[in-house]
Amino acid sequence: MDCTITDETFDWFARFWESHRNDLRWDTLFVLPPWLREWQQSFAPEINPSFLVAREDKNVIGIAPMLISEGKTSIIGSPDVCDYADFIIAPGKESVFCIALLNALKQKGVSFLDLGSVRPDSVVMSTMAETARQLGHEVSCQEEDISLERDLPPTWEEYLQLLNSKQRHEVRRKLRRLEETGSVNYRFISDVESVPGFMDTFLELFSRSQEDKAAFMTGEMERFFQSMMVAMSRAGLLRSGVLELDGVAVAAIIAFDYNGIVYLYNSAFDPEYSPLSVGVLSKALFIKDSIERGRKRFDFLKGNEHYKHHLGGQEVHLYRCRITIA
């Protein structure tokens, strides 16, 4: 059966996700239409992205959200705000899709693909790289970064048992000390009406964090965060929270809830409360909430921070795959 590739618009991409999302595997949060639209409008409003759509007998079997310029292409997004990317694919159609996509890109005059960061279980790593080699193209896939995640058990106590004895003791001790200090409240946010107030709290805490975090939050980045939070809330994907002690916000988390996975996107805390370990406890309590809501995995996302290991995170290596078309 012939596989054809067409170049569709952003509006088509969004409509397809709304009406036919179950036809394909949208395994990666950072290729969903609400996310990509906010990224494009915030950081690259002048570009015209290409949504290369593969069809067999009029049935969509895969989508590649691409940026194509001067013979080079990459998946839409940028590594500073998009932790990892991938293609969107129908199960069992990976090889057919990759062959058709490579041939279509070659016909468009594309000679170089820069695909990263991607997980080892991505279509890029599991199928595209080997398919490109078999077609005679030059392929280079190198480890670029690290992400951490933890499969979640049914109960909080079972989760604690997954930690080593030292970390299990530390989580319990720190939680007990926090509760003995004052009244503890964890307030969760998902509705769009609560986003502006939450962002005021988050940005205030973020500004008090270490210098590298404060330098990251430029005016452009702040506008992206605010618009992205609204878009993800409207899509039903937002799950953020504020840890309060005696009514004072001491830590805040931006996270997303998608497909049984909770993604810890960013966090901030008041350094004045560092002796109470409010930063790590805000994550631990967020994990507890995820377990109680029946989520299957907690994704700490990109970065090798110590607290991720202390809370049971397991390493997932991220790769950058480059393909030179022969």
The domain limits of the chain are 3-145+319-324, 153-295
What are the pLDDT tens digits along the chain (326 aa)?
A: 689 999 999 999 999 999 998 999 999 999 999 999 999 999 999 988 999 999 999 899 999 999 999 899 999 999 889 999 999 999 999 999 999 999 999 999 999 999 989 999 999 999 999 999 999 999 999 999 999 999 999 999 999 999 999 999 999 999 999 999 999 999 999 999 999 999 999 999 998 876 666 678 888 999 999 999 999 999 999 999 999 999 999 999 999 999 999 999 999 999 999 999 999 999 999 999 999 999 999 999 999 999 999 999 999 999 999 999 98
Fold: same for 3-145+319-324 and 153-295: yes
Tell me phi and psi for residue 153, to 5 degrees. -80, 180
Rounded CA-CA distance 128/87 in Å is 10
Tell me phi and psi for residue 119, to 5 degrees. -80, 160
The CATH architecture to which 153-295 belongs is: 3-Layer(aba) Sandwich (3.40)
DSSP string, 80-95: TT------EE-TT-HH
State which CATH number among 1.20.1070, 3.30.530, 3.30.565, 3.40.630 fits the domain covering 3-145+319-324: 3.40.630
Per-residue pLDDT tens digits for 237-290: 999 999 999 999 999 999 999 999 999 999 999 999 999 999 999 999 999 999
Yes or no: say if 313 and 300 are a contact pair by the CB < 8 Å rule: yes
